[in-house]
Amino acid sequence: MCVAISDKQKQLLQLLADGEFHSGTELARQLGVSRSAVWKQVAGLADLGLHHAAVTGKGYRLEKPLELLAAQAIINGLDPAVLPLLAQLELHDQIDSTNVYLSQQAQNYAPAGTVCFAEHQTAGKGRRGRQWVSPFGSNLYLSVLWRFQQGYASTAGLSLAIGVAVIRALRQQQLHPVGLKWPNDIMSAGKKLGGILIEVSGESDGPCAVVIGLGINLFVPDSAAQGINQAWTDASKVNPAISLNRNQLAASLLNQLLAVLADFEQVGIKAYLDEWRSYDCLQGQSATLFIADQPYPGIVQGVDDSGLLLLQHPDGRTQAFASGEVSFSRTPL
């Protein structure tokens, strides 16, 4: 469900996006409201995960400048070969979940190549129903709808191929070191930088719709990080020397994601396995795989040619797993 922020909130965000101080008097004038109303609007930004400073004689400013998403800036960054693959681009100020929204649009016959970005998610989700912390304008939250004609089986290994696409885009934007943790986590130095969530609906042996959700941490405020229950990082920590342009990164991600999706049904996972293995941050690591609450400790031996995780048990046996949750037994390199 789309949950629009108010026009006054949006205007206020645009005025404060530069990260500089703005006096209450000037904000009141530009917004056409009282100074008391400005104070209430500024205080309400905390509900979006945004925090501010208020200094007597200076006014208000956000703790960090915002670069708001702009459809034309994203489209301008698309490769000519990719542009025809984009059927529709939607930018939402606030939404419950980009994946939930696009799943609903898929049922309403939205075309392949429909893309949804959100500045803020009120109910963002990761795998197994976990909450995805989503402060306003700080990170990237997007979903892509694609349609496959040959049923669920034709999507096998898709999450790995999508992972390859994401790493390509991040490296293009000079963000490194980054790698992949089976089956769908974007990692840096053993901490989670982002995640992929793929949901499939339709016929098992006929046309099906796939919604690919992606969240990338660019800057996670300390206040928002309190809700994260695993080791995490963001782009500002991975490489403090660069300042990522959100619109450029959004375009780079779409360039890679749409190209992979357009080819995947023909080439399958095998076309991406070697590259995925080069990004694998679990290879050779001591780890524990959890299926439900059942732990399987061992040494990760990469993935097989179908994209299944290979785990060597303590007795030396190697077993392939199609699903599960992997936890490092020690801090990875």
Write the DSSP string, 295-319. EEEEEEEEE-TTSPEEEE-TTS-EE
Please name every residue paired with 211 in a beta bridge, in sequence order, or none if there are none.
145, 199
* Residue type at position 99: N
Write the DSSP string, 188-237. ETTEEEEEEEEEEEE-TTS-EEEEEEEEE-S---HHHHTT--S-B--HHH
CA 298, CA 74: separation in Å to the nearest integer?
A: 43
pLDDT for the residue numbered 217: 94
User: For 220, phi and psi rounded to 5 degrees?
Assistant: -110, 110
pLDDT for the residue numbered 197: 95
User: For 316, phi and psi rounded to 5 degrees?
Assistant: 100, -15
pLDDT for the residue numbered 227: 64
CB-count burial class (<10 Å; 0-12, 13-18, 19+) for 269: buried
* Nearest 10 degrees: Cα torsion 288, 291, 296, 300: -50
For residue 8, say whether it is annotated as part of any ligand binding site.
no
* Tens-level pLDDT at each residue, the chain (333 residues): 545 678 888 899 999 999 999 999 999 999 999 999 999 999 888 888 788 899 999 999 998 889 999 999 999 999 999 999 999 999 999 999 999 999 999 999 999 999 999 998 887 655 555 555 677 888 999 999 999 999 898 999 999 999 999 999 999 999 999 999 999 999 999 999 999 999 999 888 899 999 999 999 998 876 666 667 678 999 999 999 888 999 999 999 999 999 999 999 999 999 999 999 999 999 999 999 998 889 999 999 999 999 999 999 999 999 999 988 888 765 443
Angle (deg, nearest 10), helices 35-44 and 24-31 = 90
Q: Nearest CA to 181 among 199, 195, 169?
A: 195
pLDDT for the residue numbered 74: 98
For residue 98, say whether it is annotated as part of any ligand binding site.
yes
Domain ranges of the chain: 7-62, 71-277, 282-328
pLDDT for the residue numbered 130: 57
Q: Enumerate the H helices of the chain as residue ranges.
A: 7-16, 24-31, 35-44, 71-76, 98-107, 158-172, 222-225, 235-238, 246-267, 273-279
Q: Which CATH number does 282-328 carry?
A: 2.30.30.100
pLDDT for the residue numbered 333: 35
pLDDT for the residue numbered 331: 40
* CATH 3.40.50.620 for domain 7-62: no
Q: Six-digit token pair at 38?
A: 């400005």
For residue 285, say whether it is annotated as part of any ligand binding site.
no
Q: Domain 71-277 sits in which CATH superfamily?
A: Bira Bifunctional Protein; Domain 2 (3.30.930.10)
For residue 97, say whether it is annotated as part of any ligand binding site.
yes
- The pTM (predicted TM-score) of the whole model is 0.90
For residue 184, say whether it is annotated as part of any ligand binding site.
no
List, for residues 298-329, the tens digit of each pLDDT value.
999 999 999 999 999 999 999 999 988 888 76
